[in-house]
Amino acid sequence: MSKNQTMSQGARSAENVCLAGSVQGAQTLGGFDSASVDAPDDSAVSTALHPLRLLGMGLFVAWLCCVHIPSIFCGESTVLRSVASMGMRVGDIGMFVIMALIASRLGPLSSQRAMGNVLVAATTALTAVLGYVLVPADANATLVFVAGIASALGGAYLFCLWAEIYCQLGTMQMVVYGGGSCVAAWATYCLISTMTHNYSVAATALLPVLSLACAWASFRIVAPERPVPRVAVEFRIPWKIVGIMALAGFASGISGLFANIGEGMSAIHRIWATAVAGGALMYAAFHGEKSFDLRKLAQVCLVAAIAAYAFTPLAFAGLGAVVSFLTKLAYVWFTVFALAMLANVAFRFEIPSLRMFAIARASSEGAILAGVLVRDGLRALGVVSDAFALSVVAGVGLLLVGVSVLIWSSEESVNADWGAAGIDLESGQRAVGQRERLLARCSVLREQFGLTERETELLALIAQGKTRAEIERELFLSQNTVKTHARHLYAKLGVHSKDEVQRLVV
């Protein structure tokens, strides 16, 4: 593992707190110095988990899926439901493009509460209108399409707002809350799917406003993103990640082509794939030997994608659902990986999150829409009804997977830079911020003293003056586990107090 990889994997877990000025003054470790400690128990979960706040992302993901499931939303009005769905996709992409273009004027979305409240309230209202009035009443298709576009605007805002929140979290918090949100989305879908139509539409329509309420509550425990005043620094977009997300999105959009799996089954497969991914994340986070390696997500994605295309020629032999689910699983896994990489880049290099995430999401959703259009066109032409045609599809899919692997492996410092570090406009040199300096110093000390990744995480947090209780909440570890890791860290560094640790890092 390279130093850059180590830095992003281990030291990245320092919370996004203002690091301007000197590190906090001398503080003794107190409880860290206790000689009587129990054996480490990395599975111990801190009581600081805030499910009603940070897991609100799951409500948003559930809304994204439920509005595309006929048994939950809009009943059996197939044609108009498809029109509404297409309108939502177009509105989603358009809103992301707009936010990307005006990101520098908007600043952090957390500072645009009035706009967010209006957009999300409109999304809730229009979701209800589509489900209760327009589609069931066979309204004019143009009106349904426009309503679909407008209903998606608040959803795009919510996505970028939650992205801002997750960019402020440490690696462990990001993985735990991200995985928990995936499971919460599935649980919400399961609950809504048991309701009759009138109640399921109402529940689906309420999801965006409930998610927004959770987001605002989350800012009580997560520092909002700080505006970046450095106009002399250019922040580039990590186009490699964006490109791979587009390829994965296209594969996801076209996945319904593989067999007649029923209307809405693609969205159902997506929510179940989300649950599998979320459960695996939670398990890996709490049962990993040292710390969670985000690159494992890409490896799982690769296996799922290869399996999906390997089974594609057999889709019409009863394996269509399997192919669709595997494709969705590969897409969800890679989306989680890519978004985690973007959050890592935004945190480490102090990059404003809005423009980067809006562009990434617009590319992904645009590719999904392209895949859906290609799928529908090929279905209309009837060119995918035999094994030969599906073999061609499988070959093209495997080729796209190969291209994605080449793009990913071409990044020398995977999980660290991705070409997004700030560039000084006057000198043309890489602009190194305060947070990157701190993390780089922690990486150097890791190599020098042979620290584990968990110890490096702890070092970065202590360097910021975090208390033991704050570290327990940050890493989801028990008191005794933190004390044990701190004792080992101090022994390796040859120090005896938090003050000495801070001086060593600074």
**Which CATH number fits the domain that encloses residue 17?**
1.10.10.10
User: Do 329 and 270 belong together in one domain?
Assistant: yes
d(CA 104, CA 123): 24
Pick from 210, 172, 170: nearest CA to 61: 210
Quick one: which H or E segment has residue 157?
Answer: helix 141-166
Instruction: Classify residue 494 as left (phi > 0), alpha (psi -120 to 50) or beta.
Output: left
For residue 240, is it within any domain? Answer: yes
| Percent helix, strand and coil across the chain, each to the nearest 5 | 70, 0, 30
- As a whole number of angstroms, the distance between CA 465 and CA 15 comes to 11
Q: Do 55 and 167 share a structural domain?
A: yes
Per-residue pLDDT of the chain (506 residues; tens, 9 = 90+): 333 333 333 333 333 333 323 233 333 333 343 322 333 333 344 445 677 778 899 999 999 999 988 888 876 656 888 899 899 999 999 999 999 999 988 889 999 999 999 999 999 999 999 999 998 888 899 999 999 999 999 999 999 999 999 988 877 788 888 889 999 999 999 999 999 988 999 999 999 999 999 999 998 888 888 776 556 666 778 888 888 888 888 887 876 666 555 666 778 888 998 999 888 888 877 775 455 566 666 677 778 888 888 877 777 666 777 878 888 888 888 888 788 888 888 887 778 899 999 999 999 999 989 988 887 787 777 766 667 777 777 888 788 888 877 777 766 544 456 666 667 666 666 666 777 778 778 888 888 888 887 888 888 888 877 888 878 877 888 888 888 888 888 899 888 888 888 888 87
Structure tokens at 95: 């809103």
Give me the half-sphere count of Cα atoms (radius 13 Å) on the Cβ side of residue 95. Answer: 23
Query: Is 421 contained in some domain?
Result: no
Within this chain, do residues 75 and 203 fall inside the same structural domain, yes or no? yes
Number of structural domains found in the chain: 2
Q: Is residue 426 part of a domain?
A: no
Tell me the residue range of the domain where 444 lies: 3-39+432-505
- Asked if residue 46 belongs to a domain, the reply is no
**CB distance 312 to 394 below 8 Å:** yes
Q: Quick one: 189 and 286 in the same domain?
A: yes
Regarding whether 316 and 208 lie in a shared domain, the answer is: yes
- Let me know if residue 427 belongs to a domain: no
Closest CA relative to residue 210, chosen from 58, 352, 343 = 58
129 shares its domain with 9? no
Asked if residue 301 is part of any domain, the answer here is: yes
For residues 334 and 470, state if they share a domain: no
Nearest to 286 by CA among 43, 39, 3, 22: 43
Q: Pick from 238, 440, 436, 442: which is nearest to 340 by CA?
A: 238
Is residue 414 one of the residues assigned to a domain? no
Both 361 and 448 in a single domain? no
Neighbours of 76 (CB within 10 A): 11
Give the separation between CA 449 and CA 132, rounded to whole angstroms: 64
Q: Which residue has the tokens 């640790």?
A: 501
> Is the same domain home to 344 and 492?
no
